[in-house]
Amino acid sequence: MYPIHVDSEIGRLQTVMLHRPGKEVENLTPDSLSKLLFDDIPYLPAIQKEHDYFANTLRNRGIEVLYLDTLMVESLSDKEKRETFVDQLLSESKQMVNGSSQLLKEYLLSFDTKQMVSEVISGVLKKDLPEQAKKHLYEIMADHHPFYLDPMPNLYFTRDPAAAIGNGISLNKMREPARRRESLFMQFILNYHPRFSQYSIPLWINRDYPFPIEGGDELVLSDKVLAIGVSERTSARAVEKIAVNLFKSNSTIEKVVAVEIPKCRAFMHLDTVFTMIDHDQFTIHPEILDKDGNMNIFILEKGEDDEPVSITRRDNLADTLKEVLELPEINLIPCGGGDEIASAREQWNDGSNTLAIAPGVVVTYERNYVSNQIMRENGIEVIEVLSSELVRGRGGPRCMSMPLKRDLISKN
């Protein structure tokens, strides 16, 4: 059965890809936190327990949970594929590898596939490899960075490296060097995993495109409308590129709504300040609106004649949503109820980062009790999950999940 179908943010979730955090989060140190995009070091047994609780919550609702590392191991079924993967990984890790490519290659290929994938994710310490003769100045004067391959602690945010849109994938060039290698996994899974490789799955944008785009900014509002945040992580160029590619392909997307959000760490992706939770209900962090309640929004559509795209400006989010979704009314539910302190605190703790598993049914962190209560008052079913350690990576249930299949929205 064709493995990818996502034509909304809210259609009943059938299949999702997660990554259970592993040793990579224990390889964070105070010195590397900001480079590796964490605010603190999670306690591994506790973060795993919380993640398992999240995965079980989804399973209990009948959702199929796939794990990224298992898919990856199943994709690298022979020696040639393993070698291609290691070669590509090392060429993309140039700065750190520092002349030790061959040594690292032999080291990684000495493991079975499962262990190799886990080494790549958790990072390879210089002290793990046999000391090599230091011939070159850059080797003799090596810095004190302890890793040849940096750990990938952000991998449990499976939302960002790739996103399913309709029956295709946006395979993303990620903005931060600390996360760039992450989308390599999905490239190999699509090419080599039997669940995917037998189909020709369209790529709406590829990871070799020079300008960044991340899945946290990509919201499939309907089969015809895609919203994309222009943010700290996603460039206007990539938004236009994917729009043009969608319009000239067999995709059903007719409108791409580019929503500009402030470029700052707390608001890094659109899904940290805005998510869809029902046909006509959305969460929003009030601080993305200016003092008149407006913002910078552009609608991209297929152009006339030879023009690949036409662009028109809007400034009101609620009106734009009504227009593109053809709805008479919509409800924007403010994170933290709009209270100055509660909304700042709960937005920081991903109170707006809800994962809809069906129309009007969302998974959220239990800590965001103000936002959760307000959603309930608006008729939303809120399923709470644990978050003390998961939250330290600055992402919530939406960031931690990559939906691969949802029911068609009309069926719900």
Ligand X SMILES: NC(=[NH2+])NCCC[C@H](N)C(=O)O
Question: Could you tell me which residues are beta bridge partners of residue 275?
Answer: 283
Helices (H), 61-112: 68-75, 79-91, 94-97, 101-109
Binding to ligand X (CB under 6 A) within 19-78 occurs at 37
Nearer to ligand X, 334 or 395 (CB): 395
Nearer to ligand X, 11 or 153 (CB): 153
Per-residue mark of binding to ligand X, 242-271 (x: CB under 6 A) = --------------------------xx-x
Task: Give yes or no: 335 in active site.
Answer: no
| 216 touches ligand X by CB under 6 A | yes
Exposed / middle / buried, residue 80 (Cβ in 10 Å: 0-12, 13-18, 19+): exposed
Retrieve residue 364's tokens.
């959220």
CB of 202 to ligand X, least distance (A): 22
Binding-site size, ligand X (CB under 6 A): 15
Nearer to ligand X, 193 or 216 (CB): 216
Q: Among the candidate windows 88-96, 189-197, 366-374, 389-397, which touches ligand X by CB under 6 A?
A: 389-397
Q: Which of 166, 395, 397, 403 binds ligand X (CB under 6 A)?
A: 395
Report the relative pairing of strands 281-284 and 274-276 from DSSP bridges. Answer: antiparallel
Retrieve residue 117's tokens.
């994938």
Report the relative pairing of strands 297-302 and 361-365 from DSSP bridges. Answer: unpaired
Q: Which of 324, 399, 400, 404 is catalytic?
A: 399
Query: Which residues, at least 6 apart from 133, have a Cβ–Cβ distance to it below 8 Å?
Result: none
CB of 44 to ligand X, least distance (A): 17
| 393 touches ligand X by CB under 6 A | yes
User: What φ, ψ does residue 171 adopt, rounded to 5°?
Assistant: -100, 110
Q: Hey, is 358 helix, strand or coil?
A: strand
| 159 touches ligand X by CB under 6 A | yes
CA–CA dist 254, 257 (Å, integer): 10
Catalytic positions, please?
Answer: 399
List residues binding ligand X (CB under 6 A): 37, 154, 157, 159-160, 179, 216, 268-269, 271-272, 393-395, 399
